[in-house]
Amino acid sequence: MSEHTGAYDNTDATTTSASTDASLESRAKTPQRGPKRWLWVIIAAIVVIGIVIALAITGRKGSDTNTASTNNADSTVTIGLKLAPTNLDIRNTAGSAIDQILIGNVYEGLVARDENNQVVPAIAKSWEHSADGLTYTFHLNENMTFSNGDKLTAEDVAWSINQLIKNQYHDADSLNMVKSVAADDDANTVTITLNTANSNLLWTLTGRPGLVFDKDAKYDAKTEAIGSGPYTVAKFVANDSITLKANANYWGSHKAKTATIIVRYLADDNAAVNALKSGDVQVLAPITENLAEPFTADSAHYTVKAGDDTDKYVLAFNNAGEKTSDKRVRQAIRYAINHKELIASRGGSDKALGGPIPSLDPGYEDLTNLYPYDLDKAKALMAQAGYSEDKPLQLSLTYANIYGTELGDQLRSQLQKIGIDLKVNVVEFSTWLQDVYTNKDYDLSLVDHNESHDFYQWADPTYYYGYDNKDVQDLYAKAIAATSDEERDQLLAQAAKVVSEDAPADWLFNYRVTTAWVKGVNGFPVNLNQTLLPLYNVTYTKQ
């Protein structure tokens, strides 16, 4: 479940204050030196002087290579984002804003995700699993270090995951199938043993559960970060900005091409757009298609591009509710919604989505043909249920004010045509959490569910949808226990089709993230950039 609006859309996001970051203090392990004879001292001094000079030359060359793609490239890129993390404690603090800025930039995981949401190597260069899916062996890269100079070992990997489970850090429940995590530093491997097979394990490890921390480091996790990624946190100003500096001790192939990345958090839409116009930021992500129009029109100076994401704008029906437990009513609503009209009103970049799985997730299948826009069918179903325009059904739509009022107004207008009198209640997010999510006191609701791999919601009858289908639950359980991706995807696709046919909700659209940047910026990720934002490849050359 997401608390963000998905884009700059004339709605200020709810912000929470947080303490200001202190400077990052690195702690390097340095070997002790014993006494030397005078001759060896002189020789050593000469050697050291030579090394220092060589390092100064090569270091300067390396810095030029790693922080800029050309001699004209700027050493700093400023990026405008919307939602700020309340602090940097990625183990204990909820919110996708922390993942967005820290994972892949400052902290690295055992494995990672690419722009197509596929699992790729990271700290582990390769892996294999047993035929029964219960044992995974990860082979780690060599000569890895943290930003403070400490060596990154298999013991750090195992310790990090074991600590997550032991202390029940954020997302620990996603590893409840894990039996043990063991390190073999001599073989440079980590073995994860499961109690039951879980086809989502690798993907789960691309997020917080797979992050690797320095077991020996001492720092304030709320204001500092010591990781193994291409960047370090140089400065964190709550609700304002984060400054990233290229990690001089970075071990991998994703070396930072720009020395300094400044991320400014701009909750106000006008301020964000003006920052891009004035050059205060070179990139703005996300921005609605409507607000992006001036930049799209000025293609000589700006690039505007929409990328795929896993956000699903879900119009949930209370399947246990007195009025919406009638499948005919739910089906009628689905037929009555003009998805093309909704998408066009938002600028046209979003995609129609006919079921619970977005295009970047396993098991996706185009299900938009199950409930095409058809007012005649919608009216016939409503008549069967005993309602018409002359005898309307009274329903309420309750959703959080972070999504604005336009969608509610459009849905009210569309459903009125089939005999539904829709009362729209736009409330504070805290009120929505209590009334809808916790107490399940609603008819219809609207939420941007932005998580990937979140089909489990439809297999949980206690979730706020109140959807209880034993066939779906069985298919999902089999998909999770599958020992091949092909089997998993087939089972998920079957389950998703059953869910869509039952009409426990309508999927208004698959939100696509629109990003705008000035000419001269290269390497900024477009897909998934609200949850996955690797910045090592970003450069800016002033035009």
Tell me the three state secondary structure of residue 126: strand
pLDDT tens for each residue of 90-119: 999 988 899 999 999 999 999 999 999 999
pLDDT at position 34, please?
36
Higher per-residue pLDDT: 135 or 50 = 135
CB distance 303 to 510 below 8 Å: no
Q: What is the Cα–Cα distance from 191 to 183, expressed in whole angstroms? A: 7
CB distance 516 to 381 below 8 Å: no
| Alpha-helical regions (H) of 20-125 | 38-67, 96-102
Residue 141 pLDDT grade (very low, low, confident, very high; cuts 50, 70, 90) = very high
Q: What is the Cα–Cα distance from 405 to 398, expressed in whole angstroms? A: 11
The H or E element containing residue 301 is: none
Residue 10 to residues 5, 209, 267, 342, 443, Cα–Cα distance (Å): 10, 34, 10, 17, 27
Count of other CB atoms within 10 angstroms of residue 176: 10
Count of other CB atoms within 10 angstroms of residue 369: 7
Amino acid at 383: A
Count of other CB atoms within 10 angstroms of residue 390: 6
Q: What is the Cα–Cα distance from 359 to 350, expressed in whole angstroms? A: 12
pLDDT at position 354, please?
97
Residue 347 pLDDT grade (very low, low, confident, very high; cuts 50, 70, 90) = confident
Tell me the three state secondary structure of residue 414: helix
Residue 402 pLDDT grade (very low, low, confident, very high; cuts 50, 70, 90) = confident
CB distance 475 to 313 below 8 Å: no
Gyration radius from the chain CA atoms: 26
Residue 31 has pLDDT above 70, yes or no: no
Peptide bond into 286 cis (omega under 30): yes
**Average pLDDT score over residue span 259-278:** 95
Q: In this structure, what are the phi and psi dihedrals at residue 342, rounded to the nearest 5 degrees?
A: -60, -45
Amino acid at 479: A
Write down the pTM of the prediction. 0.81
Q: Spell out the SS3 assignment of 14-29.
A: CCCCCCCCCCCCCCCC
pLDDT tens for each residue of 304-322: 999 999 999 999 999 999 9
Tokens at 498, concatenated: 């059953």
Q: What is the Cα–Cα distance from 369 to 373, expressed in whole angstroms? A: 9
